[in-house]
Amino acid sequence: MTEQTEPRSRATELALEKAYAAKGPKANRELYASWAKTYESGFIVDSGYVYHQEVVKVFCDGFAQKGQPVLDVGCGTGVIGGELAKLGMSVIDGIDISPEMLAEAAAKNHNGRPVYRQLMEADLTIPTDLADSAYAGVVSSGAFTHGILGPETILELLRAAKPGARFALGINSAHFEEFGFGNWLGQQQSDGHIEELKFRLRPIYGEADEADPNQWSRIAVFAAT
């Protein structure tokens, strides 16, 4: 782990306080409606956010099917999609509850083409219209965190995944402990729904404080069966 050298800006602290206080779909829809325009230029830049890059690195280390569909869960403004496109992934779908965040993602281009093939507005705490067995890869940063998604959402994602699909889901470390993601995923593996389960500890911010679990992610890596 790296050492934190500078305190984070007050703007970042306030943004995170507001985000962690938003509990459930309605509060999150309201929060991200007002945050969408400045989320990248403000929060991502000011906070030294590297989460999307860390998840994509872990995902791509073991994913060779670049032309197969990949789902970005809680895609927001599309920072994961941008990284996947740079690395040659060509069929990327995003799903998120916030139309304002999705509008930002829709504007993202790589080499003159839209980064996302399809963007879907949906609440991932309830069943969605995602097609069965559609995705060869499933990735996420920032959505498995306080007040947003718990472990049960992973069942819906498994339904949408092809057999053998590679998952790399970033889970805030404090949220991971609070909701027992480790045991829950271990049980899924024992029950034969997933295999090759591993956890990778990665920073959410470039200069993450070693003592603060909210600045670290457990990236759950596994394959659908």
Q: Any idea which residue has 């965040």 for tokens?
A: 101
The residues with which 194 forms a beta bridge, in sequence order, are 224
Decide: residue 105, CB within 10 A, 0-12 exposed, 13-18 middle, 19+ buried.
buried
**Residue 67, CB-side half-sphere exposure with 13 Å CA sphere:** 0
Looking at the Cβ atoms of 52 and 166, the one nearer to ligand SAM is 52
Footprint of ligand SAM on 81-100 (CB under 6 A): 96-98
**Residue 44, CB-side half-sphere exposure with 13 Å CA sphere:** 18
Footprint of ligand SAM on 124-163 (CB under 6 A): 124-125, 141-143, 148
Among 60, 71, 79, 136, binds ligand SAM (CB under 6 A): 79
Does 52 interact with ligand SAM (rule: CB under 6 A)? yes
Q: Residue 190 Cβ, how far from ligand SAM at the closest point, in Å? A: 27
Name the nearest CA neighbour of 101 among 158, 45, 35, 190: 35
Decide: residue 3, CB within 10 A, 0-12 exposed, 13-18 middle, 19+ buried.
exposed
Angle at 115 between CA 160 and CA 81, to 5 degrees: 60
Does 69 interact with ligand SAM (rule: CB under 6 A)? no
Query: Is residue 137 within 8 Å of 84, Cβ to Cβ?
Result: no
Does 56 interact with ligand SAM (rule: CB under 6 A)? no
Does 171 interact with ligand SAM (rule: CB under 6 A)? no
Q: Residue 36 Cβ, how far from ligand SAM at the closest point, in Å? A: 8
Query: Is residue 72 within 8 Å of 81, Cβ to Cβ?
Result: yes
Looking at the Cβ atoms of 47 and 188, the one nearer to ligand SAM is 47
Does 208 interact with ligand SAM (rule: CB under 6 A)? no
The residues with which 217 forms a beta bridge, in sequence order, are 172, 202
Q: How long is the chain?
A: 225
Does 76 interact with ligand SAM (rule: CB under 6 A)? yes
Looking at the Cβ atoms of 172 and 192, the one nearer to ligand SAM is 172
Looking at the Cβ atoms of 124 and 168, the one nearer to ligand SAM is 124
Does 101 interact with ligand SAM (rule: CB under 6 A)? yes
Among 42, 46, 114, 123, binds ligand SAM (CB under 6 A): 123
Residues that bind ligand SAM (CB under 6 A): 25, 28, 32, 51-52, 74-76, 79-80, 96-98, 101, 123-125, 141-143, 148
